[in-house]
């Protein structure tokens, strides 16, 4: 028996009792082709992330953002849930996972079949007008940007977790940004939380409430480097709620964890779901974990 198998045994013991709240990060989506920033499969960002203040206050910076994000969206839109996302959905459908909180903006938990996902930092596939509040799909915006930039042919090989890519100034020059069609002049922004912007208070409160009601907080693929996610681990630890972390590499929450598993999530989570399914089937003759198709 290898070390990972022993750790999966520990996960089975804890998760099979139910009452689990999942907190996921970028590491869960790496096997869908979306690299994270800090893990073994991460990418190093060469430019400063866009801040809310710069986006709203600098027209040229906003053009650079939308040019890069326009290219990145083409890559993000092709991303598909991986075995880790599907395993979480299976555990939720089995009644063991009560809620999923994600720091990711890729929508892959929902695409895998999870329901009621709390997207802490929003979703990249929704666009909001900062002036009138109208929301449209990213597909609609993508079509408008294509029509406004018929000769834009920039390409990028890798996309960041926030849908951004690396493009040089020559590729960005001449890119045309479009405005809101409802109010006519409103600034459009992806419905995600930028650096320098705060997560809506009611969303944070909802996440705290879910954690406080949990029997177990299961952290998946997050280094917990930023307080946005780590605060939920701190709250669980303060309340005596066990914390289990599955991540490739150390995290800033390891000191609070009852169990840490340093291994690929695409291996660990399907094995966990299969083990629990097999145990339930052995006890009752009926599988308690129903596979969920992606899409």
Q: Is 82 annotated as a binding residue?
A: no
On whether 223 is known to bind a ligand per the annotation, the reply is yes
Q: Residue 247 annotated as binding? A: yes
Alpha helices in 19-58 (DSSP H): 52-57
70 counts as catalytic? no
Annotated ligand binding at 207? The verdict is: no
Does 22 show up as a binding residue in the annotation? Answer: no
Contacts of 231-237 with C-beta under 8 Å, sequence gap 24+, read 232/23, 232/101, 232/207, 232/208, 233/23, 233/257, 235/208, 235/211, 236/211
Residue 196 is labelled as binding a ligand: no
**Is 134 annotated in some ligand binding site?**
no
Residue 16 among known ligand-binding residues: no
Q: Residue 23 and residue 18: Cα distance in Å, rounded?
A: 15
Residue 178's nearest CA partner among 207, 209, 143, 203 is: 143
Q: How far apart are CA 52 and CA 195, in angstroms?
A: 6
Identify any residues that bridge with 129 across adjacent strands, giving them in sequence order: 188
Annotated catalytic residue within 70, 109, 121, 176: 121
Q: Which residue has the tokens 């290898």?
A: 2
71 is in an annotated binding site: no
* Binding site feature residues: 103-106, 129, 132, 180, 183, 221-223, 247-249, 265
- Active site amino acids: 121
* Binding site feature residues for NAD(+): 103-106, 221-223, 247-249, 265
* Binding site feature residues for Zn(2+): 129, 132, 180, 183
């Amino acid at each position: 028996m290898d070390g990972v198998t022993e750790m999966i045994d520990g996960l089975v013991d804890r998760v099979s009792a139910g009452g689990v709240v999942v907190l996921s990060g970028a590491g869960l989506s790496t096997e869908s082709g979306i690299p994270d920033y800090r893990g073994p499969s991460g990418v190093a960002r060469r430019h400063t992330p866009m801040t809310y203040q710069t986006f709203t206050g600098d027209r040229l910076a906003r053009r650079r953002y939308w040019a890069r994000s326009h290219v990145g969206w083409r890559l993000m839109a092709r991303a598909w849930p991986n075995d880790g996302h599907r395993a979480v959905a299976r555990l939720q459908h089995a009644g063991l996972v009560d809620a999923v909180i994600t720091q990711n903006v890729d929508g892959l938990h929902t695409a895998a079949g999870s329901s009621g996902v709390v997207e802490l930092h929003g979703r990249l596939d929704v666009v909001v007008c900062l002036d009138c509040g109208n929301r449209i799909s990213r597909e609609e915006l993508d079509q408008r940007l294509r029509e406004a930039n018929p000769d834009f042919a920039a390409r990028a090989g890798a996309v960041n977790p926030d849908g951004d890519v690396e493009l040089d100034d020559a590729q960005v020059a001449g890119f045309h940004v479009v405005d809101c069609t409802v109010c006519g002049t409103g600034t459009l922004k992806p419905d995600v939380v930028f650096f320098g912007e705060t997560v809506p208070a009611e969303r944070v409160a909802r996440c705290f409430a879910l954690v406080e009601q949990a029997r177990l907080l299961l952290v998946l693929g997050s280094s917990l480097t930023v307080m946005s996610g780590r605060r939920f681990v701190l709250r669980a630890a303060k309340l005596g709620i066990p914390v289990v972390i599955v991540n490739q590499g150390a995290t800033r929450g390891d000191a609070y964890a009852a169990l840490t598993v340093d291994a690929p999530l695409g291996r660990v989570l399907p094995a966990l779901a299969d083990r629990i399914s097999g145990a339930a089937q052995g006890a009752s003759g009926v599988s308690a974990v129903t596979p969920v198709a992606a899409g």
